[in-house]
């Protein structure tokens, strides 16, 4: 009898779960969760996916905010999504301020830690992000990638969509 491994959707935060801000998103008053995000998370959760946030938070290294700000935003996202998110990994590093870190995407250490912790099967898992570095981090660990980009913009993901709800549809259609 084979043990069933966990399937997971890794989610970038800014630009995927919330609207991205030009000068870092750390103040709760600036948090805007796009239409369809809670529904997408619930749909993925109901389909049996673990939902893990993996986010670069260079503003910490730059002294703009603290880890507590990241946790406060995460709690608000949990409240908005019915506690659908299973875990949060963030990289507080920036090469110009704190040196290079393998946890900072495109490095894949955050994903690797979650894969080990939750016994995740990369062949059944996905990375959803809005940057090339998200796609690279996902490909580094062997998960399929979905790039959230404006229509007609170049994508480096296995799939390109305009929002998380569209990404969820692709994931559900392509489960193995």
Q: Report DSSP state, residue 14.
A: B
What does the alpha-carbon distance between residue 151 and residue 140 come to, in Å, rounded to a whole number?
A: 25
CB 130 within 8 A of CB 167: no
Q: Which 3 state secondary structure label does DSSP give 11? A: strand
What does the alpha-carbon distance between residue 12 and residue 150 come to, in Å, rounded to a whole number?
A: 16
132 noted as active-site residue: no
121 noted as active-site residue: no
Whole-number Cα distances in Å, 94 to 29, 106, 109: 25, 12, 15
Listing DSSP states for 96-124 in one string gives HHH---TTSTTS-HHHHHHHHHHTB-GGG
What does the alpha-carbon distance between residue 160 and residue 110 come to, in Å, rounded to a whole number?
A: 23
Residues designated as active site: 12, 14
């Amino acid at each position: 009898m084979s043990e069933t491994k966990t399937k997971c959707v890794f989610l970038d935060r800014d630009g995927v779960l919330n609207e991205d801000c030009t000068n870092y998103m750390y103040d709760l008053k600036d948090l805007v969760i796009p239409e369809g995000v809670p529904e997408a998370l619930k749909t993925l959760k109901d389909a049996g996916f673990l939902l893990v946030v993996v986010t670069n938070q260079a503003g910490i290294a730059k002294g703009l905010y603290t880890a507590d700000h990241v946790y406060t935003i995460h709690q608000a996202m949990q409240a908005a999504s019915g506690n659908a998110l299973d875990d949060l990994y963030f990289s507080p590093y920036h090469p110009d301020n704190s040196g290079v870190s393998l946890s900072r995407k495109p490095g894949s250490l955050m994903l690797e830690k979650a894969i080990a912790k939750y016994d995740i099967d990369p062949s059944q898992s996905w990375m959803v992000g809005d940057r090339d570095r998200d796609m690279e981090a996902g490909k580094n660990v062997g998960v399929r990638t979905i790039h959230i980009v404006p229509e007609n913009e170049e994508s480096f993901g296995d799939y390109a969509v305009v929002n998380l709800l569209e990404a969820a549809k692709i994931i559900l259609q392509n489960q193995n």
